[in-house]
Amino acid sequence: MPRIRSRKFAAVILGIFVAVACVACQSDRLTTIVLSGNAFFPPEFTGLGEQVPVANTEFAVLDLSLPGDNNVVSVGVTDINGTYFTRINPTPSVAVVVLGAVRVSGLIDSTKAVIQKNFNGVTDVACEAGVTAIADGSILPLELDESRIANLEAGAAIAIQQIAVDFTDDDGSRTAAVNLTRQLTNDGANPPSES
């Protein structure tokens, strides 16, 4: 009889250890990701040379690993300071798109629990470069990590200096800047090389 009780006791203890281990494993996983930051109109658009917030404007968060028709995972409205704030489920990378008088967007490597990032004209060009690279199959969504995003943003900064970008894209200049960004960085694989 004592052996049966000790086996039952050992089984109960083992069960408790397994349950505690499973709970501990679950607590290490991200359950939600907090995204926040400010969106600013490109100074090239405002002509003011200073940061003007994209205030009281709708934004959407796109999960770049999902098909284009079903990739919106969150929507909201920026506040008077152009601040966006939202929570999303874990995903490798997202694009936040703020649709004001001109689009302002940015890429986020969403592998951390809390991410704060501001957007402007440079991040918008880099965002379109990353999204089009995924869309045409040049890179996979999982490849759009923090390093690749930084390379695209550095390339976009150079492209905007070389091309007078009309952020309404009426003249195709934003598209030209996007293409140059992709070329300078090999779709974000490398830091930009000026050409």
CATH number of the domain that 159 lies in? 2.60.40.1120
First to last CA, the chain: 83
**For 117-167, what is each residue's pLDDT tens digit?**
999 999 999 999 999 999 999 999 999 999 999 999 999 999 999 999 988
- Same domain, yes or no, for 17 and 51? no
The count of structural domains within the chain is 2
Residues 48 and 11 in one domain: no
Residues 38 and 108 in one domain: yes
Does residue 195 lie within any of the structural domains?
A: no
Are 21 and 41 found together in one domain? no
CB atoms closer than 10 angstroms to residue 163: 18
Alpha-carbon distance values, 110 to 22, 93, 113, 134, 194 (Å): 24, 5, 8, 16, 29
Identify the DSSP state of 139: S
Let me know whether 18 and 36 are in one domain.
Answer: no
Position 4 scores a pLDDT of 54
pTM above 0.75, yes or no: yes
Kindly write down the DSSP assignment for every residue of 46-83, as one continuous string.
HSSSS-EE--S-EEEEEETTS-GGG-EEEEEE--TT-E
Range of the domain at 121: 31-185
